[in-house]
Amino acid sequence: MCENYAGKAFKKMRIFACHFVFARRFPEIIRALQLFHLLLKNGLVIAQDELWVL
């Protein structure tokens, strides 16, 4: 029973860590999306590899 509790706590910590990293990265992600949207609005077609760089 003790191991089960530790496992659940570990999962919660992992989820929290993922959210924390995502929250820190969020402004960068938003900026990339805005840039992408702007390029689409201007009618530019982006090559697949350049998409991966974003």
Measured in Å, how far apart are the chain's first and last C-alpha atoms?
45
CA distance linking residue 30 with residue 39, whole number of Å: 14
Confidence class of residue 42 from pLDDT cuts 50, 70 and 90? low
Q: What pLDDT digit, counting tens, does each position of 28-37 carry?
A: 888 888 888 8
Q: What is the pTM of this model?
A: 0.37
